[in-house]
Structure 1
Amino acid sequence: MPHVTYISPDGTETTLEARDGDSVMEIAVKNGVKGIVAECGGACSCATCHVYVDDAFVDAVGEVSDLEDDMLDGAESERLPVSRLSCQIKMCADLDGLKVRIAPKQ
């Protein structure tokens, strides 16, 4: 099973095992990772699961959809080139070791 590491704004790291197909947001919510609010439950309609993807994984997570792009424009924290909504990143073997920094404001 792949693993994902969440880095909180204070630098605390939490590494969790993921099932293929689970979103990075679902894994965080199920395991009580602080900072991932996920108000919409993964429907890509709130931008409260904003993360910054580690540079090593930017290509592997895939392209931002038009809807996600629109939502990121309204995110509470600064949008960076590595910004993604964690509800839109589905875990798979290719993402084993993924690291995401949780945006400071959701």
Structure 2
Amino acid sequence: MGFLSKSRKASGKNLYDSDVKPRLVEKDGNTHIIMINSFSKFLDQNFGVETKYTEQIGSVVDSLQNDGYEIVDIKFDSLKGQGITGTAEGFHTLIMYK
């Protein structure tokens, strides 16, 4: 695992600990949601795995499951021309959990 991969996974874990976890609804059997905004890699126009998104969101999903939450569904949408330079793709990820 390379430096960037470790850094991305750590940023996902940091987001989980600082922003996601405090907003989670206590486990009550109902389905709840959390929306996360993120961006693609800089100038990512290649056919292949979007590693930044995969590693960051994957870390959040792992943390949810490690804390005993059940992932019901994950949905996302994307918007082109985002970020400071207008070259990134923005992602909205809706995680449904119990």
Normalising by structure 1, what TM-score? 0.28
The structure carrying a bigger helix percent of its residues is 2
Q: Give the structure with higher Rg (CA).
A: 2
The structure carrying a bigger strand percent of its residues is 2
Normalising by structure 2, what TM-score? 0.30
